[in-house]
Amino acid sequence: LRSLDNEHVWHPFTQMRAHREEGVPIIESGEGFFLTDVDGKTYLDGVSSLWCNVHGHRVPAIDQAIRDQLDKVAHSTLLGLASVPSIELAEDLVKRAPEGLTKVFYSDSGSTAVEIALKMAFQYHAQKATPDTQPRTLFACMQHAYHGDTIGSVSVGGISIFHQIFGQLLFESVQIPCPSAYHRPTEYTKAGYLEFCEQELERLIVENHERLAAFVIEPLVQGAAGMLMHPPGYLKRVRELTARYGIPLIADEVAVGLGRTGTMFACEQEDVTPDFLCLAKGITGGYLPLAATMTTDEIFSAFDAEPDEYKAFYHGHTYTGNSLACAAALATLELFDSEQTLDNVKQIAEVLTQRLAELKDHPHVGEVRHKGSMVGIELVADRETKAAFPASKRMGHQVTLVARKQGVIVRPLGDVVVLMPAPGMPAELIHQLCDVVFAAIDEAVR
């Protein structure tokens, strides 16, 4: 298997030469919060697969829901037909989402959920345009943002490894300074930096509002940026300004949604209803590819005003609203109620707060960022000067290698060690996760 993997499988985000040399575990099975490889070694899954297995692996209720659906039909298209599970799931999502999000457009990954919101926002303005308004071809996004891998979602990203090579293919965006950046310019104190970010937010919106098609943001926590946390009230401020200037707000909850931050959706914590809410990852409990772009009657009405071929939304995938995936999603959402998963996230968060305090004076931990079941541990060569380790050391990666040897899977984002335990993970396993990761940090930096 290993030589066939090396021969044929091209892994994403991966320097394949290093991958071949390293010999990653080949996973054969999973149970609860553990994965087992073909050599029989078992690992605690500290990142819920890729941040998506919210209730763990082989969850009986989700397995059963998929089997039941399989006995009916695995898939039928949403082009010209409707399907029972896609209708039931849409109803459930609308009930749970911030009030006013009444329409659900399905696709199959977080990237496409965002791409769809961008295209819908653009077309919404185009359909409302008069001959003397200029086209809105500009999008606002946050510095360091990650919203996916398709050309549109990369265009509203701010991480150079994703951006740089494709620069000439991308459309125009303005980047709003991220108010939580650990690597903020040294001339700003913490308070001063927030003030600067709010002023820049306002300035960029005021300056560009006639050209802006939408503002896309990950509410509360910029996950793939290295778990950068926005200060309380920031999202609300973004909502107020975008509403004042008539700019649709796209909340990308692909990572932060489904309980991660302690509430079902991160937007709830600031009482914000965005114009678009993008969901994927955990929506099927990490079982099957499914995404949803939720929006309002107001946005929808621009596509529905008259029967006009050119006013319909021309975006659709073969597997959109797949029945097995919708059935898995319905079971996943029901488990949030029956297992009181949101209460569990609160317990996880308490354990993490207590355990992460142990890193407070660690000479190679620059900052620990934590909300709900999302954690970023920023490794540095020097805590005082914030000097980074040389990139060639791949220190974040080294930590994950040591942790893996000790039977725990975590993934770094550069030199930020990320913990993303499943919202349903029992608290005692959080202790095991912390024990191994903290020891791995000590060993790797030694």
Q: Which is nearer to ligand PMP, 224 or 395 (CB)?
A: 224
> What minimum distance in Å lies between the beta carbon of 181 and ligand PMP?
17
**106 annotated among ligand-binding-site residues:** no
Contacts to ligand PMP by CB under 6 A: 109-111, 114, 146-148, 218, 223-224, 252, 254-255, 280
Q: Which is nearer to ligand PMP, 266 or 327 (CB)?
A: 266
Contact 93, 104 (CB under 8 A): yes
> What minimum distance in Å lies between the beta carbon of 132 and ligand PMP?
36
> What minimum distance in Å lies between the beta carbon of 325 and ligand PMP?
13
Cα separation of 115 and 323, whole Å?
Answer: 22
Residue 102 CA to chain centroid, in angstroms? 22
**19 annotated among ligand-binding-site residues:** no
> What minimum distance in Å lies between the beta carbon of 252 and ligand PMP?
5
Rg (CA), the chain: 22
377 half-sphere exposure, CB direction, 13 A CA radius: 32
Token pair of 304 as six digits: 């529905």
Nearest 5°: CA angle at 417, between 413 and 422? 95
**152 annotated among ligand-binding-site residues:** no
Q: Which is nearer to ligand PMP, 32 or 412 (CB)?
A: 412
Q: Which is nearer to ligand PMP, 53 or 355 (CB)?
A: 53
**316 annotated among ligand-binding-site residues:** yes
Token pair of 18 as six digits: 């290093």
> What minimum distance in Å lies between the beta carbon of 206 and ligand PMP?
27
For tokens 């059963």, the residue is 64
Non-local CB neighbours of 60 within 8 Å, separated by 6+ positions: none
Q: Which is nearer to ligand PMP, 211 or 317 (CB)?
A: 317
> What minimum distance in Å lies between the beta carbon of 133 and ligand PMP?
30
Non-local CB neighbours of 407 within 8 Å, separated by 6+ positions: 41, 42, 43, 44, 436
> What minimum distance in Å lies between the beta carbon of 428 and ligand PMP?
28
Supply the DSSP string of 109-137, one letter for each residue: SHHHHHHHHHHHHHHHHHHH--TTSPP--
**318 annotated among ligand-binding-site residues:** yes
Q: Which is nearer to ligand PMP, 255 or 425 (CB)?
A: 255
> What minimum distance in Å lies between the beta carbon of 281 and ligand PMP?
6
Cα separation of 431 and 92, whole Å?
Answer: 34
Q: Which is nearer to ligand PMP, 272 or 445 (CB)?
A: 272
**372 annotated among ligand-binding-site residues:** no
**317 annotated among ligand-binding-site residues:** yes
Contact 256, 232 (CB under 8 A): no
Q: Which is nearer to ligand PMP, 118 or 441 (CB)?
A: 118
Q: Which is nearer to ligand PMP, 93 or 351 (CB)?
A: 93
> What minimum distance in Å lies between the beta carbon of 199 and ligand PMP?
26
Which residue minimizes CB distance to ligand PMP? 110
Q: What are phi and psi of 296, to 5 degrees?
A: -100, 165
CB neighbour burial string for 328-346, b if at least 16 within 10 angstroms, e if fewer? bbbbbbebbeeeebeebbe
Cα separation of 150 and 145, whole Å?
Answer: 14
Q: Which is nearer to ligand PMP, 238 or 255 (CB)?
A: 255
> How distant, in Å, are the alpha carbons of 45, 96, 209, 225, 386 from that of 410?
7, 30, 41, 16, 23
Token pair of 339 as six digits: 């297992």
**281 annotated among ligand-binding-site residues:** yes
**411 annotated among ligand-binding-site residues:** yes
Cα separation of 234 and 256, whole Å?
Answer: 16
> What minimum distance in Å lies between the beta carbon of 288 and ligand PMP?
12
Supply the DSSP string of 317-375, one letter for each residue: -TTTT-HHHHHHHHHHHHHHHHTTHHHHHHHHHHHHHHHHGGGTT-TTEEEEEEETTEE
Annotated binding site: 110-111, 146, 252, 281, 316-318, 411
Annotated binding site for pyridoxal 5'-phosphate: 110-111, 252, 317-318
Annotated binding site for substrate: 146, 281, 316, 411
